[in-house]
Structure 1
Amino acid sequence: MPTVWVLGAGQLGAMLKQAAYPLAINVEPVEPESEQLPNIIDGDTVTVEREQWPDTPVTRHMSQQRGFMNADIFGKIADRFHQKTMLDTLGINTAPWRSVEVNTKAESLHAELGPDVLLKRREGGYDGKGQYWLYEDQGDEVPTDWLGTGIAEKKIPFNEELSLVGARDKDGNKVFYPLTLNLHSNGILMASISPLSRVAHLQPMAESMLGKIMDSANYIGVMAMECFRVGEQLIVNELAPRVHNSGHWTQAGACVSQFEMHLRAVCDLPIKAPEVRGQSVMINIIGVEREIAWLKIPSTQCYWYGKDVRPGRKLGHININHPQKSAVQTALNELRKLLPENYQDVFNWVEKELKRI
């Protein structure tokens, strides 16, 4: 049985392990702070559930292995300066940006990027963390601790947020899932919907963009591309060289989930176009205690990550899938009753978008 070692032992690693069983693959997630080095042998594969990691004996050991997949790409994507530079070099639409140097002034950023400028840390930052807005009309200055550590982006007046998850094998074959519509609150993904016929005409554009990125890096495995839709154009916001939260719906809504697809690609097994099964909605569980009654709702799959409950923390997700949208709506109505008041806006958004599909 081949072994795939996963750098990182969070929920993504756990779901990769779950997806591995039907493929007769042994998946071993590894905590970067572990005191014991994994016993990796020739022929084993090393992949990741995160694009950046602390410098520890374990991470040094794993990243130096011959079977470490995509070793050259993580530095380019984990550092937003290099990620943006790569996108510009490939001619792929991304928000206009500038590097924040040690002597950068807010005045120059506004002159180049407009009145509202978003600062992002070059490294780190997720779920809305590592960001800072500069507003010209408020006379904001670049905070001292941001000088030399970030990039600045122009504010994009987007219509909606879409993501594309795709996979590539060692021979350059590529497959893609349908575009996914996403709702974020304070930078945290709250819900995803896929497929959507009203954005299907943008699928070829999205596939061309993500395919070009994966080919340029000779990437093997699953990659996610988060985009803003501005009219009939897509603008790349972020890349993730791994399985991704916005692809969780594929566990219920496709013949091959993103987790299985990633393992197929990195283990040199056939990847195939994922047939979509009906309508899917994914609801993230953020900072909410587990409710056993979720398990009673028809047309749902519940995933609980086993983490300590804290405000703003991703603790699980619920996939809803059915060939009939009416059944999906029924499940949403039942779930709405079992989540706190702050989720009402999420359910209102999902209900509105399901009517537009």
Structure 2
Amino acid sequence: MTKVWVLGAGQLGAMLQQAAYPLALDVHPLAPEDETLPEISAADIVTVEREQWPDTALTRHLSSQPGFINAAIFGRIADRLYQKTMLDELEINTAPWLPVTASSHAEALHAEIGEDILLKRRTGGYDGKGQFWLYQDQGDEIPSDWLDAAIAEQKIPFEEELSLVGARDADGNKVFYPLTLNLHSNGILMASVAPLERVKHLQSQAEAMLGKIMDSANYIGVMAMECFRVKDKLIVNELAPRVHNSGHWTQAGACVSQFEMHLRAVSGLPIKAPEVRGQSVMINLIGVARNIDWLNIPSSQCYWYGKDVRPGRKVGHININHPNKKAVQTALVKLRPLLPENYGAVFDWVQDELAKI
């Protein structure tokens, strides 16, 4: 069996490991802090579940392997300065932006890119972390610890957030999943819905954008592109060179999940267009205690990550899928009382979106 070492041992690594068995791949997720260095042969493959990692003996060991896929791109694409520069060079729509340098001042940034500006740390920051708003009417100034460490983006008055998950193999073949509609709260993904007939006309635009990005980087594996939709224009917000939370619905809703697709691509197995199976909804479980009654919900799969429960922490997700949309709506009604009251707005949003389809 071909061995695949995964840098990172969180839930994404665990789900890659789960997806490996039908492919006869031997997947080993490794935490960066592990002190034991594995013996890796020249024929082994190294991939990641995260686009950045601490400098440890293990991460240096994995990064130095000849089978480390996409070694040249991870460090760069994890830097938002590089990511934004790359998008501009490829002439792909993204929010107007500027680097935050040691001499940057809020007044100049507002004059250049707008009244409301979002500062983003160049590296790190996810689920709403690593961000700071500058509002011109409040007279905010750039905090000193953000100088030379961030980019500044114009606030985009978007209508909704969409993401596209695609995969590319070593020969340049590409496949894509349908666009996914996402709901965020305080920067954390709460729910995803796919597919959506009303955004189908944007699929070719999204595929052209992500395909161009993957080709330019000679990327192999799954990549996710998060976008803002402004009328019929997609604007790239973030790129994730790995399997992605907004693609979790594919575990139930496609003939090949994003996890299997990534392993196929990096190991040289055929990738194929993912046939979609009915209507899917993914509900993220954020900072909630496990409830075994979730397992009774029809048309659903529950994934529990085995983490300690803390406020704001992703501890699991529930996929709901069925060929009949009404069955998905019924499952959501049954699930709603099994989650905290703050999920009411999430269920309302999902049901409203399903009613539009």
Per the normalisation by structure 1, the TM-score is 1.00
Following the alignment from structure 1 to structure 2, what is the Cα–Cα distance between the partners of residues 93 and 83?
A: 12
| Pairing 1:260-339 to 2, within 5 Å after superposition | 260-339=260-339
Computed over aligned residues only, the root mean square deviation of the Cα atoms, in angstroms, reads 0.4
* SS of alignment partner, residue 206 of structure 1: helix
Corresponding residue for 1:64?
Answer: 64
* SS of alignment partner, residue 337 of structure 1: helix
Matched-pair contact (CA < 8 Å) for 1:76–1:86: no
Matched-pair contact (CA < 8 Å) for 1:164–1:179: yes
Following the alignment from structure 2 to structure 1, what is the Cα–Cα distance between the partners of residues 6 and 277?
A: 29
* SS of alignment partner, residue 182 of structure 1: strand
Matched-pair contact (CA < 8 Å) for 1:32–1:59: yes
Where does structure 1 differ by over 4 angstroms across 4 or more consecutive aligned residues? none
Corresponding residue for 1:143?
Answer: 143
Residue 200 of structure 1, CA deviation? 0.3
Residue 356 of structure 1, CA deviation? 1.1
Residue 158 of structure 1, CA deviation? 0.2
| Pairing 1:125-204 to 2, within 5 Å after superposition | 125-204=125-204
| Residue type at the aligned position of 1:340 | P
| Residue type at the aligned position of 1:222 | V
Corresponding residue for 2:99?
Answer: 99
Residue 124 of structure 1, CA deviation? 0.3
| Structure 1 gap ranges (5+) | none
Residue 42 of structure 1, CA deviation? 1.2
Following the alignment from structure 1 to structure 2, what is the Cα–Cα distance between the partners of residues 185 and 40?
A: 41
* SS of alignment partner, residue 51 of structure 2: coil
Per-residue deviation, residues 145-168 of structure 1 (Å, max 9, x unmatched): 101100000000001000000000
Residue 17 of structure 1, CA deviation? 0.2
Matched-pair contact (CA < 8 Å) for 1:7–1:59: yes
Residue 231 of structure 1, CA deviation? 0.6
Following the alignment from structure 1 to structure 2, what is the Cα–Cα distance between the partners of residues 312 and 210?
A: 30
Following the alignment from structure 2 to structure 1, what is the Cα–Cα distance between the partners of residues 39 and 95?
A: 43
| Residue type at the aligned position of 2:186 | N
Corresponding residue for 1:347?
Answer: 347
* SS of alignment partner, residue 269 of structure 1: coil
Per the normalisation by structure 2, the TM-score is 1.00
Corresponding residue for 2:210?
Answer: 210
Following the alignment from structure 1 to structure 2, what is the Cα–Cα distance between the partners of residues 129 and 77?
A: 18
| Residue type at the aligned position of 1:217 | A
Following the alignment from structure 2 to structure 1, what is the Cα–Cα distance between the partners of residues 12 and 124?
A: 18
* SS of alignment partner, residue 227 of structure 2: strand
| Pairing 1:7-46 to 2, within 5 Å after superposition | 7-46=7-46
Per-residue deviation, residues 289-313 of structure 1 (Å, max 9, x unmatched): 0000000011000000000000000
Residue 239 of structure 1, CA deviation? 0.2
* SS of alignment partner, residue 338 of structure 2: coil
Following the alignment from structure 1 to structure 2, what is the Cα–Cα distance between the partners of residues 291 and 90?
A: 47
Corresponding residue for 1:51?
Answer: 51
| Pairing 1:80-99 to 2, within 5 Å after superposition | 80-99=80-99
Following the alignment from structure 2 to structure 1, what is the Cα–Cα distance between the partners of residues 288 and 111?
A: 43
Corresponding residue for 1:221?
Answer: 221
* SS of alignment partner, residue 93 of structure 2: coil
Following the alignment from structure 1 to structure 2, what is the Cα–Cα distance between the partners of residues 266 and 283?
A: 28
Corresponding residue for 2:246?
Answer: 246
| Residue type at the aligned position of 2:274 | P
Following the alignment from structure 1 to structure 2, what is the Cα–Cα distance between the partners of residues 338 and 3?
A: 40
Following the alignment from structure 2 to structure 1, what is the Cα–Cα distance between the partners of residues 176 and 166?
A: 4
Following the alignment from structure 2 to structure 1, what is the Cα–Cα distance between the partners of residues 258 and 313?
A: 22
Residue 39 of structure 1, CA deviation? 1.4
* SS of alignment partner, residue 242 of structure 2: coil
| Structure 2 gap ranges (5+) | none
Following the alignment from structure 2 to structure 1, what is the Cα–Cα distance between the partners of residues 288 and 188?
A: 14
Following the alignment from structure 1 to structure 2, what is the Cα–Cα distance between the partners of residues 218 and 187?
A: 30
| Residues 1:122 and 2:152 aligned together | no
Matched-pair contact (CA < 8 Å) for 1:30–1:38: no
| Residue type at the aligned position of 1:356 | K
Matched-pair contact (CA < 8 Å) for 1:3–1:28: yes
Following the alignment from structure 2 to structure 1, what is the Cα–Cα distance between the partners of residues 297 and 192?
A: 18
| Residue type at the aligned position of 1:29 | P
Matched-pair contact (CA < 8 Å) for 1:99–1:150: yes
Following the alignment from structure 1 to structure 2, what is the Cα–Cα distance between the partners of residues 58 and 87?
A: 32
Following the alignment from structure 1 to structure 2, what is the Cα–Cα distance between the partners of residues 10 and 121?
A: 23
Residue 76 of structure 1, CA deviation? 2.0
Q: Percent identity?
A: 78
